[in-house]
Structures are given as C-alpha cells and as structure tokens.
Amino acid sequence: MPKEVVPEAARRRRKPTKQGVVLSERLIVETAMRLLEQPSREGLTVRRLGAALGADPSSLYRYFRGSDDLTLAIADALIGRAMHGRRSTGDWRTDLRDLGVRIYTAYLAHPQAAVLTASRVSGRAHEIAADEAILGVLRSAGLPAPEAVRIYHAFIDQTLAFAALDAAGLALPHAARAADEAVWQATYARLPAETHPHIAATAPLLVARMNNSAYPAALEMLLDSAEATLARTRETPHATEPGAGANGTREERT
C-alpha cells in the first residue's frame, strides 16, 4: 500500500539537514534534476538523492509517494521552467511558436530529465497551465473546439517527441554522439549514385542538415497547417462550436 503523503504544511523539518538546508518538495526536485545530469552508474536513486540533500532517504517519502511520483514532479518542473516569464503578444502564430520553443528548450536544458519525463502526463499545476495556455491561443484565434484540440494534440506531442529525441542525443556520451554525427559525412556522402541515386543527389544537403534538429522546420509546418485550418474555418460560416452564435460566442439556451 502506498504511503500517505504528508501535507505541505506538515512536511517542513524544524532542523536543517546535514547540508544546512530545510527540505521542501521544490528543493528535492531541483536536486534530483541536478543529479540526473551528473554521470552515475546508479542513476537517480532515493539513497543517492538523500545523500545529496544530507537527509535520511526515508524522509523523502514525506514529500513523494515513491520514485514515480518524483518523476512526475520533475516533469511538471520542466514545464514550469518553460512557462516562466511568458508573455502573450496577441498574435496566435507568434504565441504558439513561442510556447513550442519554450517547452522544447526547457527540456533540452536538462537532457536526462527530458528523456525520463517527456512521455509522462503529470496532471500537475504547471502542466495544466501550459495546456490551458496552448488551447487558449488556438481558441482565441477562432478555431472551434474540435480543431483546437486536434491541433493542440499534434502540437504538444510533436514538441515533446522532438524534445525527447534530441535530448536522448545530447545525453549520449560525447564519443558516441560524435561518431553518430560523423556518419553523414563518412558514409552517406560517399554512397555511389549507381546504387543510391537519391541519397547521392542530396548528400551535401543531408550532411548540412541532418546533425541539426528538425524541430524548427516541423514546428513551422504545423503552424502552416494550423493557419490553413483557421482560414478554412473563417470561410465556413457554420464552422463554429455547438451552441455558439455567429460570432463564436456561446448562446444561452432558454
């Protein structure tokens, strides 16, 4: 049976740890993220985390039900970092691009944490705020709910998928990453046109592009698709949400 998590107000230690700090959920998450980026055969363990905090490992269970609960908290912290300081411009395309770049960049700043959490759904405050912001941008642009959700789904999955993919590359040992990057020049650029005509014809372009992330290009493609959808919606007067009036506002039922 999972242990009961102590409410935040009751968790605070009256005495500092051996490191001279007072435990908190935020401190534990930040320390865990720092440890994830440090090479270790152990990975992130409760024992290693407790040692870094100067606390008994068992004390961490006052804050998290277990390692998976901590993982979800790390996922939410990454989203929180992405959203910090965000300001809306009022232009939906600019704002949606900014959200994507912010999330992608925040994950790549912590590659190991990104690999660990990009596929998770935490349901926590920062994640919910980000989802609300993305949907708000799409619906404020004039997209009806079904199209807003369809584009939101593609947008967030694409952003997190690229974050996980590119973070996994950054998390590789330097020698392995360098070897992978060298393959485009050492192998693909030398394939003969007689056997691989399409690769040979595009080899210089492949060498120039393939070691860089495709996320910026993919994001612009998604934005182009969203803009085309929005244009079709504006051309179709009846393409409003169920129960909405001609101007897109919801009508009261009597």
Helix axes 197-209, 174-186, angle to 10 degrees: 140
Give the chain's domain count. Answer: 2
Q: Are 73 and 124 spatial neighbours (Cβ–Cβ below 8 Å)?
A: yes
- Within the chain, how many helices (H) and strands (E) appear? 11, 0
Helix runs in 45-194, H state only: 46-53, 67-83, 92-108, 111-117, 125-140, 145-171, 174-186
Give the residue among 221, 223, 225, 240 at the shortest CA–CA distance from 143: 240
β-partners of residue 250 are 244
* 92 & 217 share domain: yes
State the burial class of residue 169 (Cβ atoms within 10 Å of its Cβ: 0-12, 13-18, 19+): middle
Question: Which domain does 50 fall in, by range?
Answer: 1-65
pLDDT value, residue 189: 97
Domain assignment of residue 15, yes or no: yes
Are 5 and 112 contained in the same domain? no
Q: What does pTM read for this prediction? A: 0.84
The Cα 187–Cα 226 span in angstroms is 38
Within a domain: 248: no
158 in a domain, yes or no? yes
Residues 201 and 132 in one domain: yes
Q: Residue 224 is part of a domain; what is its CATH number?
A: 1.10.357.10
74 belongs to a structural domain: no
Same domain membership, residue 111 and residue 54? no
Rounded CA-CA distance 86/227 in Å is 22
Q: Is residue 77 part of a domain?
A: no
| pLDDT at residue 247, rounded to an integer | 41
The torsion defined by the Cα of 230, 234, 236 and 237, in degrees rounded to 10, comes to: 140
Residues 219 and 96 in one domain: yes
Residues 120, 189, single domain; the answer is yes
How far the first Cα of the chain sits from its last, in Å, is 50
Domain identity same for 216 and 133: yes
pLDDT of residue 246: 38
Per-residue pLDDT 10s for the chain (254 aa) are: 455 555 555 554 556 666 667 899 999 999 999 999 988 777 889 999 999 999 999 999 999 999 999 999 999 999 999 999 999 999 999 999 999 999 999 999 999 999 999 999 999 999 999 999 999 999 999 999 999 999 999 999 999 999 999 999 999 999 999 999 999 999 999 999 999 999 999 999 999 999 999 999 999 999 999 999 999 998 886 545 554 443 444 443 33
Residue 249, H or E segment: none
Q: Measure the CA angle with vertex 77, ends 132 and 4; round to 5°.
A: 100
Query: Are 94 and 40 contained in the same domain?
Result: no
Question: Are 110 and 19 part of one and the same domain?
Answer: no
Identity of the residue numbered 28: I
Residue 47 domain flag: yes
